Every structure is written in C-alpha cells, then in structure tokens.
Structure 1
C-alpha cells in the first residue's frame, strides 16, 4: 500500500512541476458588479493576460461603459489581481445618417439605437466595403453631442481608395501555372478587391487534389491594387496501380486463373489541370476491357472543362462493345459540379454461329446508341485520396435513340416487324459516407443503384457490376443487370496514417431479364489490409460471395492484392 501511495505522490509532483513550468501567472479580475468577474485562471505569459484584459475592456465599451479602465490591485510572484472600473454607463440615443451613401443604406439598413447595435452595424458595413474594393474603409461617429448619459451622433464614412485585383502570383515547390490558379480561384485582374474572395481562394486551393498550401498566402497592396501570392506544394497524385487476381479456372477445374488490372493516371500535366488515365482489366481468359480518358480544365480560359473518353469491352467470344464520350463540366461551387455529356455506343457480335437458325431476336445483337445526359456531383470529403470524414454524392441521367443493325449472319426474318429505332434511357446514383469514430476506428458506407429502359433491351446493353469496386467476392463484371442496387459497408481499424485493417460486407439486388431467375440477391463478406508504404499503398483483400450463379464456398473465394504507387 505504501508503495502505491509513493508512486501516486511521485506522479503528482511530476504533474505539478510540469504545470508550473507552463504557467507563469495566475490572474483574476473583478468589477463593482460582483456578478461580472473572473476567478483565478492560469496564463502562460504577461502578453496573454494583457490580451484578455483588453478583450474585457472592449466588451465593456461595446456595452456603453465608455470610461472603463483597469487597475492593478494586487501582485505577487506568481499571481495578479485587477480591478475593472466600469464607470458611468452611456446610452447611444440617436444615430443620424450623416454622409452615408444611399447605396450602403439599400444594402444595410441604418442601425438601431444602442452601442451593441452600432458596433454590429460597423462590423457588417466594413465587411460590405472590404468585399467591394474598399478594404481601408473607416466608419465612426461624428458631430457627437452629450445630454447627461445620452450620446447623439452622426455616421461618418471614409471609403478610402478603390482597390482592384492585380496579377496573381504562385510560389513554392510546384509546377502549377498562375493562370490555372487564377481560373480556379476566380480572382481576375481588374475586378474589385474582395477579402471574402481571398479567404475562399485559400480554402479552394487546399481542397485541390493536385496541390496544397505550403504556407499562408500573402497579400501585397500597391497604389490602388492588390496582388495575392499563393505558396503551393504539389501532391503525389499520379497513380500506377497493379492488381493480380487469383481465381478458380471454371474452364479447367482444379487450376488457377490469373487475372489482372492496370491503372495509370497522370494528373495536372503542365501545371494546367490536364489529366490522362488508362485502365485495363482482364476478367477471365477471353474477356478484357480498356478505358482511356483525358480531361482539359478551363477550356480557352472559360470555367468549363472538357473530357474525352474511349471504352472497349471484349466479352469472351460473344460481343465487342465500344463507347466514345464527350463531356463538358462546370464547377458551380467549391464542393459541387455539373456535367453535360454525349456518348456514342456501338456493339457488335463476334460470332453469329449460334444464331444462324434463330426465329426471334437473340439476347445479343448489333446496335448503335447515341445518348445525351446530365451528371451532378457533390464532394464534401475531407481528403481527395484517403478521406476519413465526409460525404460524396454522384448521379447521372441520359437518354437517346438506339438503332438495332441487321446482321447478315442472322436470318432476316428475325428483324421483320421489329421497331429497329427506339428510345432508350438510363440513370444511376451513388452515395458515399465516411465516419471517423476515433483515432483508430472508422467506418465507410456506400450505396449505389441504376436502371436502363428500352422495349428491345439486349444483354450487351446491360450494366456490368461485380468485383473489387462494386460487389466484392465475385469476378470483375460478373453480373449483367437491367436494374441494380447494392450497399457496401466497411469497419476500419487504423494503425497508421492511411494504413488499416478492415472487414467488409456487401449486399445487392439485381434484375437480369435474360436469366432463368431474373431476381438475384448477391451477398459477400471478407477482410483485408490497406498498408501505406512511402509513396504507395499495398492492398490485400479476401472475399467470399453467394448469388444465384455462385454458391457460398471457399473454392469460389476471391483474393485481390496489388500495389498503388503515387508519384
């Protein structure tokens, strides 16, 4: 018992020494009104004490105690006691318009009587001026008269010089061009200076996936102009991501099929927000896909971005799909963007041998589809790469005319009486939420859904889902779906900055009109690790899935591992 008491006493002494090492003074203050006082409180320096007392006096001034002052009452080696003399309380009984302009009165109604109302009005008015080119504006009471404890005065405004934005500058270890930062922050030379724009620009730049602020920005005022300088540090955003999948070979039982995925993404080329991405996948022995995308930001100096895309999918020996897309995007806020797109989709049969004696339109056919659509994105994640908190919403809707082409390898009678030109619509939505419970525990949730409609719907029209980026525990693009919805859930145990162990479960509902059982309810679960290593991330995920087409069995388990390198 004595041993434990000695340990507690020793720890208490250490804590006390540390506290005394941090606290230089104890300070309190009181006024004539015993309800308005502050009891003893520790401060690290005399400067902190002076700052606190100045704040107290300012508060009294704003309440009408214009003659308030402080007096040192007692002083010891480690303590100070002050008395605040509040003096007589005055009333601001009348505020005349003075030289205030009609423009200001139209935007800010004249203040009510009272010092608190007057000070709030000054704050709002100065904010109004500093966001419209007058950062040096001053407002005060003029022609002051006193009638006992009543104060009467007139508003006097000095706008100061009109300030416009000058050329923007970029410093720091970055390849980013000043023109790109100017377009991104929307600080245009020649326009009125705005303090709000300047503060908002810092927030916008820190949210960029390409770079971050390396130090506080600077603002230099010259004759009637202001020049901002932003110091940036480029992020490691370029990606090389390779994944190898080990799957059971369904064509050769007892053997393993090696699949693969390669992602190459190059961002912010030339410091202009120009992106290029190439994605390749091999889902099984005869099925492969290729995606190539390019984006150019601020087209011809406008707020629009333009994107071009190409997608190719070879589905074993059944069909070949190609998509060509053109996108125009616009960021209408720091978190939200809208896009308008058009797409040309083409699909062709690879082999027609199975359909040479068909009596009705096969489930797979040749077609061309021109569609036009609208997309919306709201991104409130706290990090562009490894978010722990925040919300992401994405949706798109598209419609167009689909034309079924007659294939000479299929009997002509199949197409008789069939409307070969029909409208087709499609839509999708995705919602993602990150929850950070503590330093070591986080959760991730995602819900996705989509639909496609056409009176002559084909198998090679349908959505392709399944695999690492949708419903895990299945091959990539394992499912065909006319309608789909799925929910992903992860529990993450962090043991480093972006390193964590995780367990997951996925639930889905799918509709495929070409399956014997149209409705399918796939489920999956598993575990994995995300390990940050310098400029890269190693991932290993093991999953089991069950659906109409796959039993729940370890022989159908999926293992994905790979290394994502950022440079």
Structure 2
C-alpha cells in the first residue's frame, strides 16, 4: 500500500515537471566563431526567447560585427535553433573630438580602436554634460568613412541650454521644511543642474531617520530652470520608552526591588531636524540619573549643527556628578559626521561624615574638569531604525585641565602634596556590525572600548558600565572602570520585519584601580524577544552574568522588559 502511494506521488511529480517543460521555450544558437556557442537554454515563453536572441545579436553589433546575421533557423512550436554569421569585425582607425568641450574629455577614459569604445565614450560625455548643467546635451558620430574594416569619424556635440537649479519643493504627508531638504541634499538655487547631485540626494534622503521617500524625485524643467520635487512621508521616530527592572533587594533579602527608566525622544520638530531628548533612570533606592539634550540642525542656515546637553548622576549618598556640554557638528559626507565639543564636568561628595578622620585623600573627591575634544561617526547601516546590514562607528577623544576642589568636610592635611591642577584625557570608541544571512536569520555584533587617564583619578571619575545597554546580566551602572573593553553578540531569528527572538553573549575586561582585583573579566548570556506591534516595540530580555563580585547563579539573574512606543 505504501509503495503504491509513493509511486503515485512520483508519477504526479514527474508529470508536473514534463508539463512545465512542455509549456516552456528552448533556444540554441551557434556562430562561425568556434568559442561563441550556447547549447539549449530554457525560457518561460517564446517572447522571452526572442528577447534573448535580440540581446545576443546586439552584443555582436556592439563588438564591431556590423554585418552579423542569423541563418539556418530551425523553428518548432517550443524551440528555436539558429546560427549567427559574424562576418568581418570593424575597428576605429581615428575619431576626432570635434566640438566636444575639452573640460569634458579630460575626465573620462580615452578612446581605443575597439568599436564599442565610441559608444562608451559618448555615454561618458553625456554624463559629464548632465552633471555640469546640460541635461539635454546630445552627441553623435558625423562624417563616417570606411576603408576596409577600418572606420574614421568626427564627434558632433550639441550642448543644449544651460540649466540651473530652482528652489527645492517638498510634497507628501510630511512636516519637513523645504529649507531643511535643501541643506541635506546640497541643492542650491542658482547652481548648475547636476544629475549626479540629484541621484546622491535621493540616496541621502533614503537614509534619513525622519522620513521615507514614497517615490523617486521628479524634476520640472522650465525656462533654464530645474525644480526638483521630493515626495516624503514622516516616520514614527518619536520615542516613549518605559522599562521596569526587577532586582534583588540587598536591604531586604528575599524581596525584589523595582527600578525604572523613562526615555522621551522628540525628533524633527518643526520639520527642521530639531531634536529634544529626556532620559531618566532610577537604578536603586537612592541612585538616579537624568540626561537632557537638544539639537538644532543647520544653525542660522550654516552647515553646522549645534547641540547642548545636561547630565546628572546621583550615586546613592556618595557623590553627585554633573555634566554640561556644547557640541558643534559638521557633515563631511553622506556617511561621515565630525563634531567638536566642550564639556564641563564637576563632582561633589555628598556624605563627608565618613571621611572626617582620613589622613589621605580618599577614593572620592570634589573636582572640576573642563574638556575639549572631537568625535567622528561613520554610518553605513542600511536602515536608520531597524538595520539588517552594514556597520556603525562612533569615537571621541577629549582632554583638558582637571582641578581638585578642597572640601571643607575633609581634613585639610589630605590636600598637602596633592597636585590640585593636572591634565586629564579620555577616549571612547564603539563599532557595531549587522550581518544579514537570510530573511529569517541575522547576527549583530558590537565592540566598545574606552580609557581615562590622570595623576589623581577618583571613583567618581571612572566610567560606569553594566546593564541593558552595555554588559547585560548585571545591574545598571554596576561596574566602575578606568579602562574597559567589551563585546556584545546576538543571534537573531526574525519572524517579522522588526520582530525577532534572540540569544546573546557578552564578554568584557575592565580595570578598576580601587578594587583588590583591579582586573575584572565579566561575561553574561541570555535570551529575549523584540516584538513589533505596529505602534511600538515590546522587549523582554533575561540574562545572567558572572564577575569578580557576582557569582554565576540564577538567583542573580536580571530581567528587563518594557514597551518602546513610536509616534
């Protein structure tokens, strides 16, 4: 019985393949050149087969076989066999540039004797003309002469009218201002038209995190004017993100401590690339952080962006750090962004009672540090919000003078022989890589590193790491580090455009001069889900980690979940 069923299945499969073959069309061709022959090739229809034959004949013409023709046709209902007679191959003996502008000819590949060289050269001239204000330029061969299989001719060029850019026009469901698109694309009224600039503008706008293009750009040509129209639709880029964390309560064993985080990010306000962000975290009962920033793009119609920011970190009752920064950014290219910044960092010890009897400067102190630095961003991600391919690099370096402030709660002698003013510098870098394997499988990697250096480094000077956005499986800002490096790795199983299951592993190496074992090598692993609901992203991540201060036990595991709403 089973054999009969299997035979029936094979019979129907074979019959389907035979029917499919009978409904197709087969083509075979040969030529009088012994190495230019193709055996039977299948096509879905006779029309597709005819197109294939035409393309073969045109390729011979482009190579210089101007007398090529087909004969010995054998035509059947589902097949075609023919032979090409190539004939003599023609070459160019000479081609004069004629009236083609010399500035165009200097930047393209020189002509050769090959017949198709003239066609390639003419296309290059037209492209040069289109990129220099002449979109209606034409060129052709004139005064063609033949001597055997050698040809000679002269180029005849017609530039057409010189066209200049008109103002940029924006349409579609968007609040984006035309002035902003003009700055992003670099299309300035009064400059010569450039097809290359229009193509690059289309690519640049496609990478914007603020909007998407719903159709290709349109150009309306008027009298010596070209007005580009970009049709846009705003993305849901604004973010409202709330996360709840469940952590073991160190003060009350057996109970859990609920922490919180709020991220509010408003983008492209007024359609001008203006951004505002507020981030707040409660890491434990007494520890909180606040981060506020604002950015204005193309300040006073200049190529510069300016942003200001304020950050506050209260570490329980130990110290309070404050940061105030001013950034100026400049777009070097569509993929690179350079910024210069100044930052004022200050720290104050909150509880001095514990240090009233110390004889040396403790591991925390009051100070001010004025920094000056620069940063570079290289962005080659295929999507600004949900990338599947590409990489992102972000790096910065800063230096400045650090001044230790004398705290009246400390004994005065702790400042004796301490250099109160000294240079301090830092550097940070991060690289992110997305790998697309297939529609349901991808990988994500991120590597981060940083260092800070000074004669008198304090605990409230050090980097803070750990948690959902750095080394998972640990509390937020769990680690202090003078220098650090860590790697995040994820395997992602996609079941929607922006929804996936994932497993992760994080590995790091940290240096803390105030701990007995100054080198820590934490690692963690876990799993989670990222679920796109259409109006937002739901995230749930479970991780467990091990370090010098935390054993590898499931009782120390961390759970983070939240909903990121985009509007």
TM-score normalised by structure 2 residue count: 0.94
- The equivalent of 2:414 in structure 1 is 414
Instruction: State the alpha-carbon separation in 1 of the partners of residues 528 and 457 from structure 2.
Output: 38
Per-residue CA deviation, residues 500-522 of structure 1 (Å, 9 max, x unaligned), is 22222211111111112211111
2:70–2:83 CA contact under 8 A, matched in 1: yes
> Greater shift after overlay, 94-103 or 104-113?
104-113
1:343–1:370 CA contact under 8 A, matched in 2: yes
1:97–1:110 CA contact under 8 A, matched in 2: no
TM-score normalised by structure 1 residue count: 0.94
- The equivalent of 1:184 in structure 2 is 184
Instruction: State the alpha-carbon separation in 2 of the partners of residues 467 and 541 from structure 1.
Output: 11
Instruction: State the alpha-carbon separation in 1 of the partners of residues 243 and 382 from structure 2.
Output: 27
Instruction: State the alpha-carbon separation in 2 of the partners of residues 551 and 158 from structure 1.
Output: 79
Per-residue CA deviation, residues 207-226 of structure 1 (Å, 9 max, x unaligned), is 11111111222222222222
Instruction: State the alpha-carbon separation in 1 of the partners of residues 18 and 240 from structure 2.
Output: 53
> Greater shift after overlay, 481-490 or 38-47?
38-47
- Structure 2: gaps (5+ residues): none
- The equivalent of 1:445 in structure 2 is 445
How far apart are 1:173 and its partner, in Å? 1.8
2:450–2:485 CA contact under 8 A, matched in 1: yes
Pairs within 5 Å for 1:511-526: 511-526=511-526
1:492–1:503 CA contact under 8 A, matched in 2: yes
2:505–2:524 CA contact under 8 A, matched in 1: yes
How far apart are 1:239 and its partner, in Å? 1.0
Instruction: State the alpha-carbon separation in 2 of the partners of residues 389 and 550 from structure 1.
Output: 35
Count of aligned positions:
565
Per-residue CA deviation, residues 72-95 of structure 1 (Å, 9 max, x unaligned), is 945544445555454443221112
Instruction: State the alpha-carbon separation in 1 of the partners of residues 46 and 302 from structure 2.
Output: 53
RMSD: 2.2
- Structure 1: gaps (5+ residues): none
Instruction: State the alpha-carbon separation in 2 of the partners of residues 504 and 108 from structure 1.
Output: 50
Instruction: State the alpha-carbon separation in 1 of the partners of residues 302 and 390 from structure 2.
Output: 29
Aligned residue for 1:437, secondary structure, equals strand
Pairs within 5 Å for 1:159-238: 159-238=159-238
1:108 aligned onto 2:108: yes
Instruction: State the alpha-carbon separation in 2 of the partners of residues 26 and 136 from structure 1.
Output: 42
Instruction: State the alpha-carbon separation in 2 of the partners of residues 190 and 18 from structure 1.
Output: 59
- The equivalent of 1:562 in structure 2 is 562
Change (3 A) 1:309 1:20: farther
How far apart are 1:348 and its partner, in Å? 1.1
Instruction: State the alpha-carbon separation in 2 of the partners of residues 352 and 559 from structure 1.
Output: 35
Pairs within 5 Å for 1:531-542: 531-542=531-542
Change (3 A) 1:162 1:54: farther
1:4 aligned onto 2:20: no
> Greater shift after overlay, 454-463 or 89-98?
89-98
1:364–1:458 CA contact under 8 A, matched in 2: yes
1:95–1:113 CA contact under 8 A, matched in 2: no
Per-residue CA deviation, residues 392-430 of structure 1 (Å, 9 max, x unaligned), is 111110001111111122122222232211111000111
1:121 aligned onto 2:121: yes
Instruction: State the alpha-carbon separation in 2 of the partners of residues 30 and 313 from structure 1.
Output: 78
- The equivalent of 2:396 in structure 1 is 396
Per-residue CA deviation, residues 426-456 of structure 1 (Å, 9 max, x unaligned), is 0011111122223322222111111001111
Aligned residue for 2:438, secondary structure, equals coil
Change (3 A) 1:57 1:433: same
Instruction: State the alpha-carbon separation in 2 of the partners of residues 97 and 505 from structure 1.
Output: 63
2:22–2:78 CA contact under 8 A, matched in 1: no
Instruction: State the alpha-carbon separation in 2 of the partners of residues 547 and 79 from structure 1.
Output: 71
Instruction: State the alpha-carbon separation in 2 of the partners of residues 326 and 267 from structure 1.
Output: 19
1:281–1:290 CA contact under 8 A, matched in 2: yes
Instruction: State the alpha-carbon separation in 2 of the partners of residues 110 and 555 from structure 1.
Output: 73
- The equivalent of 1:347 in structure 2 is 347
Instruction: State the alpha-carbon separation in 1 of the partners of residues 91 and 491 from structure 2.
Output: 60
Change (3 A) 1:270 1:194: same
Instruction: State the alpha-carbon separation in 2 of the partners of residues 481 and 437 from structure 1.
Output: 36
Aligned residue for 1:231, secondary structure, equals strand
1:507–1:521 CA contact under 8 A, matched in 2: yes
Change (3 A) 1:328 1:12: farther
1:429 aligned onto 2:429: yes
How far apart are 1:69 and its partner, in Å? 5.0
Instruction: State the alpha-carbon separation in 2 of the partners of residues 54 and 166 from structure 1.
Output: 42
1:484 aligned onto 2:480: no
- The equivalent of 1:96 in structure 2 is 96
